[in-house]
Amino acid sequence: MDVETNCSVRSAVEAVGFLEDSCSGTGAGKVIPSCHEARISSDRVGGAFLPGRGFHGMPTEVPRISVLVVEDEPMILDIVADELSDAGFTVLQATTGEEAVDILNSDAAVDLLLTDIRLPGTLDGWCVAEHARERFSSLPVIYVTGYSALPIRQVPDSILLMKPYRPSAIVSAAKGLGVTPGPRNPV
């Protein structure tokens, strides 16, 4: 972006008072003497998260809805992660129930759990979902399995998909649980 466009954008943003000093972080109407010393606080305008670009054309980081995918088959994990990422989700990955529980116990934001039922280690997908619901009572859960003979232990308000499935079925199931890709709402 050229300097003239930078200054035009700056003027427009100044009019609504959303400039911040790039050094001190203060703003909301502060007069900044040079276009090159300012940046747009483009992650909040009127209280909403907005995707956008700063003065120098660099994309701003917008927190997106995140999905924890728990799958022990690397090829399936890659395909599902790509499908979800292409749909606009942030994807966290685990290949065992223990890894999934570690992620759930961390500070990572998880908005949807997608778990295979049969996993290596001591925790299966049922246990992962039960742990997740103990921590986050309304976390949407999608189970996937290729074994129809397993006794079902679904948490309430979850979905069970049988393998094989189309990767797009995961996005449809997420939407069925009220989880749509895109920016996370601010708190």
Find the farthest-apart pair of alpha carbons in the chain and give their distance in angstroms, rounded. Answer: 70
The structure tokens listed for 14 are: 């100044």
pLDDT of residue 20: 37
∠59-35-29 over CA atoms, to 5°? 90
* Dihedral sign from CA coordinates of 41, 43, 48, 52: positive
Residues of the chain with CATH 3.40.50.2300: 66-176
Q: What single DSSP character describes residue 177?
A: T
CATH for the 66-176 domain, from 3.40.50.2300, 3.40.630.30, 2.40.50.140, 3.90.1150.10: 3.40.50.2300
List all residues 6 or more positions away from 43 whose beta carbon is below 8 Å from its beta carbon.
49, 50, 52, 60, 61, 62
Tens-digit pLDDT string for the chain (187 aa): 444 434 443 333 333 333 333 333 434 333 333 333 333 333 333 333 334 444 445 555 667 899 999 999 999 999 999 999 999 999 999 999 999 999 999 999 999 999 999 999 999 999 999 999 999 999 999 999 998 777 889 999 999 999 999 999 999 999 999 999 877 765 5
Is the Cβ–Cβ distance between 91 and 115 less than 8 Å? Answer: no
**CA 71/CA 75 separation, integer angstroms:** 9
Q: What is the DSSP string of 59-118?
A: BPP--B-EEEEE-S-HHHHHHHHHHHHHHT-EEEEESSHHHHHHHHHSS---SEEEEESS
